[in-house]
Amino acid sequence: MTIEQFDLDDPAPDEISVRIAATGICRTDLHIRDGDYPIPSFPVIPGHEGAGIVTAVGSAVTDVAIGDHVLLTYPFCGQCENCRRGMMAYCEQGFVLSFGGTRLDGSTGWRRSSDGTSVNGHVFQQSSFASHTLAAARSAVILDRDLPLDLAAAFGCGVSTGAGSVLNAMELHPDSQLVILGAGTVGLSALMMAHHLGVEQIIAVDTNADRLAIASALGARHTVNASELETRDAIQQLTEGGAGYIFDTTGHPNVVADALDALAMTGTVVMAGAAPAGARTSLDMNVLLNGRGVRGTIQGDADTHQLVPHLIDLYRQGRFPVDSLVSTYPFAEIQRAIADMDGGRVIKPILRMPTNEVP
Ligand SMILES: [Zn+2]
Ligand SMILES: [Zn+2]
């Protein structure tokens, strides 16, 4: 990734201009960088966990105002059948809105300052790896102004996905047995939410001992280091025969197949890990037949306008300690932040934009 100078158009009718204060880095940004999703052409400006201050609003925007502090969340069209029934995470236009590199009409508001040529931006309709950006107004969640924006950025995609998955894709009760595969942002956010709901039997699995220590501190009763133990056997032993829910955040085909084998009868694997396009897995059909299921979730099925304020409330009450996942970096050190995330040295890197900039 390189940092370059661009000019931005005024917001389209349903857009807002935002001075980004901070943005999280999510693994999906790295999939975009690596070409795992079909972005039409590079260069492109990634970033989809932006928090900032609204500096202009499009002509059709009525519910966001200049000066509002906002968290930018995933995009949706607001008109398709899934959007109309409140399942915006499954918007029929969601993929193209996230990875098309343009607005829905194919236009882009980003131009290279050096020669005026158009470039792809509008990733997740927000391209938040930028000091200023254009964003879809309907995806902006308005924040209390006393919430630090670099903390607000932590409630973006990954944290919402983990917490939302537990709330929306599982029916947990205190006696449930929940296994979480991958103690990164998504997995640990699921853990915090399950712990908040009173689930006592939470097992966290990872290959990174530091992350497993954090999982224990956040409420995991057991941890399994997958580089030392055979995960399926360890889960079956700890759960005495199989787990009710296994939450996969890894997106590895073999991990998902093994997870199914470690479920109790009638248990469910909930999958939130993004796999490279076209990845397939194979499942034991007779294992599945015993009432077991595998389901995927995008963004934890969440309506972020409901979920994000709820999570911020819980955070303020000390029940959802998202700050324990965060490390901050100056924007200029984006490469170091990504390297630290890739190396497992940090969980949720947050980039802070320079504050001396004129909005
Ligand atoms: Zn839609
Ligand atoms: Zn994401």
For the cut 90, the answer to whether the pLDDT of residue 13 exceeds it is yes
In this structure, the answer to whether residues 14 and 82 fall within a common structural domain is yes
Mean pLDDT of the chain: 95
In a domain, 36, yes or no: yes
In this structure, the answer to whether residues 334 and 290 fall within a common structural domain is no
Please name every residue paired with 205 in a beta bridge, in sequence order, or none if there are none.
181, 224
Ligand nearest to the CA of 99: 2
In a domain, 359, yes or no: no
Q: How far apart are the first and last CA of the chain?
A: 24
- Owner of token pair 């303020």: 316
How far is ligand 2, taken at its centre, from the CA of residue 27, in Å? 6
pLDDT in tens, 242-274: 999 999 999 998 888 889 999 999 999 999 988
Q: What are phi and psi of 29, to 5 degrees?
A: -60, -35
pLDDT in tens, 284-309: 999 999 999 999 999 999 999 999 99
In a domain, 308, yes or no: no
Q: What are phi and psi of 63, to 5 degrees?
A: -105, 5
CA-CA distance, 87 to 81, in Å (whole number)? 9
How far is ligand 1, taken at its centre, from the CA of residue 336, in Å? 36
The pLDDT > 70 percentage for the chain reads: 99
CA-CA distance, 177 to 239, in Å (whole number)? 7
How far is ligand 1, taken at its centre, from the CA of residue 119, in Å? 25
CA-CA distance, 159 to 122, in Å (whole number)? 21
> What CATH number is given to the structural domain containing 141?
3.90.180.10
Least confident of 147-161, 221-235, 236-250, 267-281: 267-281
Amino acid, single-letter form, for residue 299: Q
Between residues 317 and 40, which one has the greater pLDDT?
Answer: 317
In this structure, the answer to whether residues 14 and 60 fall within a common structural domain is yes
In this structure, the answer to whether residues 52 and 150 fall within a common structural domain is yes
Q: Are 187 and 103 in contact (CB under 8 A)?
A: no
Residues near ion ligand 2 (CB < 5 Å) are 26, 28, 157
In this structure, the answer to whether residues 142 and 181 fall within a common structural domain is no
26 falls in which pLDDT band (50, 70, 90)? very high
Q: Are 172 and 43 in contact (CB under 8 A)?
A: no
Ligand nearest to the CA of 128: 2
Candidates 22, 16, 77, 76; CA nearest to 49 is 22
Return all residues near 24 (Cβ < 8 A) that are at least 6 apart: 49, 153, 154, 156, 157, 158, 348, 349, 350, 351
Q: Which domain holds residue 106?
A: 6-155+321-352
pLDDT in tens, 55-97: 999 999 999 999 999 999 999 999 999 999 999 999 999 999 9
How far is ligand 2, taken at its centre, from the CA of residue 14, in Å? 22
Is the link from the previous residue into 148 a cis peptide, with omega within 30 of 0? no
How far is ligand 1, taken at its centre, from the CA of residue 79, in Å? 5
359 falls in which pLDDT band (50, 70, 90)? very low
357 falls in which pLDDT band (50, 70, 90)? low
How far is ligand 2, taken at its centre, from the CA of residue 290, in Å? 33
In a domain, 309, yes or no: no
Determine if the pTM surpasses 0.75: yes
Q: Are 149 and 70 in contact (CB under 8 A)?
A: no
Ligand nearest to the CA of 90: 1
> What CATH number is given to the structural domain containing 235?
3.40.50.720
For the cut 90, the answer to whether the pLDDT of residue 356 exceeds it is no
Report the pLDDT averaged over residues 149-160: 96
Q: Are 347 and 211 in contact (CB under 8 A)?
A: yes
Q: What are phi and psi of 244, to 5 degrees?
A: -75, -40
Candidates 114, 135, 164; CA nearest to 4 is 114
Report the pLDDT averaged over residues 178-193: 97
In a domain, 306, yes or no: no
In this structure, the answer to whether residues 259 and 346 fall within a common structural domain is no
Looking at the structure of the chain, the number of domains it has is: 2
How far is ligand 1, taken at its centre, from the CA of residue 103, in Å? 14
In a domain, 198, yes or no: yes
Predicted pLDDT at 45: 95
In this structure, the answer to whether residues 174 and 64 fall within a common structural domain is no
For the cut 60, the answer to whether the pLDDT of residue 358 exceeds it is no
How far is ligand 1, taken at its centre, from the CA of residue 102, in Å? 16
How far is ligand 2, taken at its centre, from the CA of residue 256, in Å? 20
